[in-house]
Chain A
Amino acid sequence: MTMLALTIVILVWTLFPVYYMVLLSVTPTNDLFQPALYIDNPTLRSYVYTMGQDNPFVRYFWQQLLTSLTVSLWTMVLVGAIAAMGSFAMARMKFRFRRYVSGLTLFTYVIPSSFLSIPFFKLMADYDLIDTKLSLVLAMVTFATPYALWVLSDYARSLPPEIEEAGAIDGAGTVATFFYLYVPLIIPPLIAIGTYAFLYAWNEYLYALLLLTGEQHIPLPVAMSNFLTTDNAPWNLLMAVSTVYSIPPVVLYYAFKRYLVGGLVSGAVSGT
């Protein structure tokens, strides 16, 4: 009985804000100012307006979506490449300053990215990179790489030592061993950390707000928060955009759940 009550509390707590978001997104504008737990005549008009860019607030919806997508995909590709190379060195090679690399990685993972946001903004301004997607991609790659590197290195350590031996027998150099023997073996975790990097960039708000300006250049989350600066924001429209924006992460999180927790903490779990 207590268990049932507890379950209901947990479900309401967890789902109500999400339910309310979706509910608002299908609320006709006339009913917006009559709060209720459900609505009698749901409409998809907000979605139609959003998709058709048929309202000043969503004038550049597709372009903003494309910006979010471009930044996230570039982050994914670069994080994958850098972490694949790094993990090869960290897990399969012995070299003198390896300890320092892992220290720096941990430091970057832990330091709150907001602490670096203002100097980073200044740095980008000095190189005239404000308002370019490149600046945002660089920031996202920097902060998403440490976690990706751990997941890959962890995986790479579990691979048998025969990789290098096979490479040596065939007379392959380090570079050839990396491309032909190592990379094909780490494809599964590479997909997972690619997803992680994609989501990291997709969800980012602060750096996107700082580095990109102008309605046609900003990514979706910044455009959504700009709704808030007006007094009579069309909340049903905003919630329709919110719902669309939430779908890719929700799908990816559930698909790759297993890979997206752990990392740093998984080490701590097995260490206890």
Chain B
Amino acid sequence: MSRTVREGGLAPPSPVAVARRWPAVLRSPTLQGFIFTAPLLFLFAAFVLYPMLSGLYAASDPDSYRAIFGDPVFRQTVSNTLWYVIVAVNVKLVLALLLSGILDYPFVSIRVLAALFLIPWAIPALPGILSFRWMLNSQWGIFNHLLTKLGFQSVPWLAQHDTALAFVIIFHIWKYLPFWTIIFLAGRRAIPNELYEAAAIDGGGVMQNFFSITFPLLKSLYLICTLLSMVFTLGDFTVPWLLTGGAPGDTTHVLATLAYRYTFAMGRLEWGLSTFAVALPVTLLFIGMLMRWVKI
């Protein structure tokens, strides 16, 4: 074992320290970097890359694609997923951008409101979904109870495709709106106040401020959030699965819940994997765009 002394050391190292020092080979920065990131690299290799590649390999049979594209449930699922991702994400982010403007006012009442507003984000998805499910129950739910009291017909909210899908979207917005609102709030607070002061001198109104200062400066943040939220929502399982479970009659599945059904209820593993593989090109495109724009 070679004991090397660091060049240009200010104090002569104590013998104990020298004994503890690594041999020259181990002091190469590349090797040290590798040692400290080894657990990370292991996790990625074993539980991200390997599952993804083995999944793609198992889904490489064209027959399973032919089979799922021939399945009307699959086609309905693709349409549901597109509705879910496009409508839920965009409505949510527009609302978040507007709400962040309200929550930015420096009043005590607004601060209290902002704190209460975070509750859906703090509560896990599952209890929220359960609460929505019971509220939407056709017979004993509070929604239909109030509707009939006001003289309207009761609606089988979760027992018909359109309203069931709509409530998957509504729940998503309820749960995740606070998170993105805080993100935009942080973005707004990073805008220098002088810009608004200058605009006030020029007599700019609220709308003008928004379109000529706030939005241009938040544009790239907004775009990144849109991409990120779309990718996350594309793979969402919990909300659709627990709110509708694909019911009525497997019409409200999204990709993740359909893949679960193919794999575990029907025993068609390769169909389940192919379902995800179909969404992979779009996902990778989005991820590629994010990786170019996001600096870490």
Contacts and interface: CB of A to CB of B under 8 A. Distances in A.
Interface of A: 3, 6-7, 10-11, 13-15, 17-18, 20-21, 24, 32-33, 35-37, 81-82, 85-86, 88-90, 93-98, 101-108, 110-120, 122-123, 138-139, 141-142, 145, 149-150, 153, 168-176, 178, 202-203, 205-206, 221, 224-225, 228, 235, 238-239, 242-243, 245-246, 249-250, 253-254, 257, 261-262, 264-272
Interface in B228-278: 228, 231-232, 234-238, 241-242, 245, 256, 259-260, 263, 269, 272-273, 276
A106 B294 contact: yes
Q: Secondary structure of the A side of the interface? A: helix
Q: 9 closest pairs, A vs B, by CB?
A: A112-B235, A95-B33, A171-B17, A171-B13, A119-B51, A242-B127, A89-B36, A253-B122, A119-B55
A6 B93 CA distance: 18
B295 interface: yes
Given A11-B113, A104-B41, A110-B290, 11 more contacts: A85-B40, A112-B234, A114-B276, A115-B52, A117-B260, A123-B50, A123-B51, A171-B17, A239-B130, A254-B122, A272-B190
B265 to A, nearest CB: 13
A36 B18 CA distance: 76
Nearest to B110: A7
A91 to B, nearest CB: 11
Interface of B: prevailing SS: helix
Contact of B131 (A24, A37, A138, A272): A24
Nearest to A154: B296
A257 to B, nearest CB: 7
Contacts of B82: none
A45 B93 CA distance: 41
Contacts of B67: none
Contacts of A270: 190
Contacts, number: 310
B144 to A, nearest CB: 8
Contacts of A106: 287, 290-291, 294, 296
Interface string B23-64: 000010110111011011101101110111011001000000
Contact of A110 (B17, B126, B231, B238): B231
Contact of A267 (B119, B132, B280, B296): B296
Nearest to A90: B37
13 contacts: A7-B113, A17-B135, A36-B145, A85-B36, A85-B39, A96-B30, A101-B37, A105-B296, A113-B235, A116-B55, A117-B256, A267-B296, A268-B293
Interface of B: 6, 9-11, 13-14, 17-18, 20-22, 27, 29-30, 32-34, 36-37, 39-41, 43-44, 46-48, 50-52, 54-55, 58, 99, 102, 109, 113, 115-128, 130-135, 139-142, 144-145, 174, 178-179, 182-183, 186-187, 190, 217-221, 224-225, 228, 231-232, 234-238, 241-242, 245, 256, 259-260, 263, 269, 272-273, 276, 279-280, 283, 286-287, 290-291, 293-296
Interface centre among B21, B117, B119, B145 (most CB of A within 10 A): B119
A11 to B, nearest CB: 7
B242 A102 contact: no
Given A20-B135, A21-B131, A111-B287, A14 B116 contact: yes
Contact of A246 (B123, B133, B142): B123
B287 A114 contact: no
Given A239-B130, A242-B126, A271 B295 contact: yes
Given A85-B39, A253-B118, A95 B30 contact: yes
Nearest to B220: A272
A178 B32 CA distance: 12
Contact of B20 (A81, A112, A122, A176): A176
Contact of A114 (B11, B218, B256): B256
B122 A118 contact: no
